[in-house]
Amino acid sequence: MKKAVIFLMGGTLISYPSVLKAQNLRAKKTVQDIESIQIQGKMNKEVVSIPRKTLDVIQSNTLGETLSKIPGIQNSGYGPNSGAPVIRSLSGNRVRILENGTAVNDLSGISPDFNLDIQMDNVQNISIYKNSAAVLYGGKAIGGAVDIETNYIVHQLPSKKINLQALLEGGSNSGQKQSFSAKGTIIKNWIWTMGGSNQKQEIVRIPGKSKDSRCYDPNLVGFNSILQSLCQLDVNSRNVLNISLFPYISQFAKDHMVEYELSQDDLYTFSPTYYNPSDGQYYPNPKNDQYVPGQDPTKDRYRSEVNSIKDYVPTKDGVIPNSHSESNSFYVGTSYIGKSFYLGGAYQNAYSYFGVPGYALSKIPKHSHGKPQKTLEYVPINIKSLSHKAMLETAYQFNHSPIAGIKFNYMGVFSSNSELLERHKANQFHVQQHNGRLEIAQQKLKFLTGTTGVEVQYREMEGSGSQRYLPDNISREIGIFTMQHLNFDFLEFDLGYRNDHVQRRADADKKYIRSRGLSGGNLMGRDFTLNQFHTAAQWNILKKAYLKVQYNHSERAPEVNELYAGNNHFAILTEENGDDKLDKEIAKTWEIGGGLNLKNIRLSANWYHTFYKNYIYLAHTGISREVFLVKEWRSDDTEINGIEAEAAYKMDLHTLGKWEVGSYYDLVRNISTADSSIRKWSDGDYMPNMPTSRFGFNLSGTVQKLNFNIALDHYMKQKYLGKNINPELPMPAFSLLNARVSYEDTHLKMGSIEYYIAGSNLLNTEARLQNSQLKFLSPLAGINISVGVKIKIS
């Protein structure tokens, strides 16, 4: 007998991850499973699920790139080795990353160069919440959540005593990768698991130059110090008078240039006549042959004259600089699975070392006091991370009780995360994080089902290194939530509420050197109370179509970097300044959508609108120090709106196989609604570095033992541009073509074997993501052809 607690998320029927399921053992080979389950709604749902089979087709190393094919989700694109999901223009501290329903050690919101300590080869399924999931997972899910299901802890008894999977892969532009996982039975009801992975790549190739060609346009970089910094250029230039601005040449100045020691500024004039003091008469001035009408006398009086443009570090055509990467991981776990109870634990170790395609000074130069400045030495920025993770899960199902089931998850993470200048430590953060989550599912009462829970989180960050950008800090969070669902078959309703209490504390020791900027103010401790509310309704029309509407009120406390940062942050090439007086964010979101699901056709569309009060963003100050741009965390009101649409058609061509063709389109706008002259000056009417609109097509099919997948994604030129003090430059439109062909032999005695060949960016396009902070320094990887083999033994 199966029991499940169901609720409506995004106006569509799904299951809550805390629900328990039990099956009686009828025979030794019967699979017993009391794992949390998801009941897929018949209609299109807001929660998108990606199974392992689809992940094999995508074949990406980072989570951001893996999810970037889903409408409304793009990759942060922080170089080829680091990428987090951007959901409807929101990422970092606004998108909660979870592992088996528990928050992971996600430092990518604090520093985008830190990758998630998730090994994609160990992922079995990914669930994505594209709207606010703050009721379920707290304020850091104000913009959505990504729940990653891994295979470290087994929830069901295997049908064989030993199961083994192995992967070998090599690519022309993706390095090499190996992984394995195994599980088996120790004794009755006891299961063991073990696995590991290894990846290495020396360099990433691209079709052209690593830097955008506009970095070398003297008319653009000239005196645009922001663009010079984004392009990492040393530009030798000076201001000169724009002689084409003036319609006349002063005859008087021309005649008395030497006598009165006049300059070029005196030679050109707007006056058609000049006064001759010797006879007191006015005479006509000659016309300027180089005059160009229509210029602004104030803005265009001077122009930049560029003498030379030089890279901080010389680049090499055809490769992304400092694009090396290597990583490895290992895990071991065990589980006891009973009739209505399970208990499991696991340990995972992960190591990664990779380069960021940017450079920084090995030593910050001091004031020379007029003496000759020493040669500046720029070195590559590298990232090194080592994490240890302990996991515990347990669940129990009740048969005759108002409570259907109870589940508890714990995750402890102990990690060291370093930013290196070449191989020398610039800063390092030792992180201890403990997360506990208890969920209680109630028995179904006629039309009502629901889940209630409590979640506790503790994180301690201890820094070292003379150039670290954060003081030591501690965060504590506790949240209590409930989600209730009413199901009347053709009508479904959802109601959820959560209350969070968040503490942030900073402790600046004597070794922590702060910048000359705002630097986190007085580093005072902050306490926040957050209220989350969710309601939704869905009308199911003849089991073939649906209409849905939902509303979310969500609140988020500022993170420690937004409050306390105060030094040069090498990864983002910025002097980052927090503000300890920032207030909490408040987001109010409406979403309306609908869909049609016939035998061979699926259609869906969604419109959403979010109003943010106190939207926190990293703003330009217009100042640069020691080659770093100086930025401050500020808050202002912001509006986000967009649309998403999908369509798919299935075809059964009999001997020619079964095929499905699909398409999608998405658009998002992040607009300033605050009456702030400072924001309009520094960042413009739209937020800069926002995802561009896209559309795409895909074709997948199976012909006997062959599987085919082809996808074409087109990224359009950004229309909604912000400012980086100066107007933001749009990246050119581009298209990405990916394909994969596989052959699987399932008739082996010991298991099965799959051979595949996959290609990415087959058009070898120079592709630069508009939302990437490194778009001027690094495009996406060029063409890559990978071949691999997967072996399953059971």
Q: pLDDT tens digit string along 674-707?
A: 888 888 888 889 999 999 999 999 999 999 899 9
Phi and psi based region of residue 120 (left: phi greater than 0; alpha: psi -120 to 50; beta: remaining): alpha
pLDDT given at position 183: 92
DSSP 584-596: PEEEEEEEEEEEE
> DSSP assignment, residue 467?
T
Q: What is the DSSP letter of 686?
A: B
Decide if 482 contacts 473 (C-beta within 8 A).
no
**Cα–Cα distance for residue pair 465/388, rounded to 1 Å:** 22
pLDDT for the residue 372: 56
Region class of 258: left (phi > 0), else alpha (psi between -120 and 50), else beta: alpha
pLDDT score at 371: 57
Distance CA 54, CA 66 (A): 10
CATH classification (class only), 47-209+316-365+389-793: mainly beta
**Tokens 């499905």 appear where?**
660
pLDDT at 436: 96
Pairing mode of beta strands 96-99, 145-150 = parallel
Q: Where are the domains of the chain?
A: 47-209+316-365+389-793, 213-311
Spatial separation of the C-alpha atoms in residues 765 and 208, rounded to whole Å: 9
C-alpha distance from residue 792 to each of 63, 158, 542 (Å): 25, 14, 42
Residues 6+ away with beta carbon under 8 Å from 189 = 157, 336, 337, 338
Helix (H, G, I), strand (E, B) or coil at 462: strand
Tally the C-alpha atoms within 13 A of residue 752's C-alpha that lie toward its C-beta: 9
Q: How many CB atoms lie within 10 A of CB 472?
A: 21
CA distances from 564 to 458, 502, 586, 676 (A): 18, 15, 20, 23
Report the pLDDT value the prediction gives residue 239, as an integer from 0 to 100: 80
Cβ neighbors of 510 (< 8 A, separation 6 or more) are none
* Dist CA 3 CA 138 (whole Å): 26
Q: Residue ranges of the chain with pLDDT lower than 50?
A: 1-44, 369
pLDDT value for 45: 52
Tokens 């129990």 label which residue?
Answer: 396
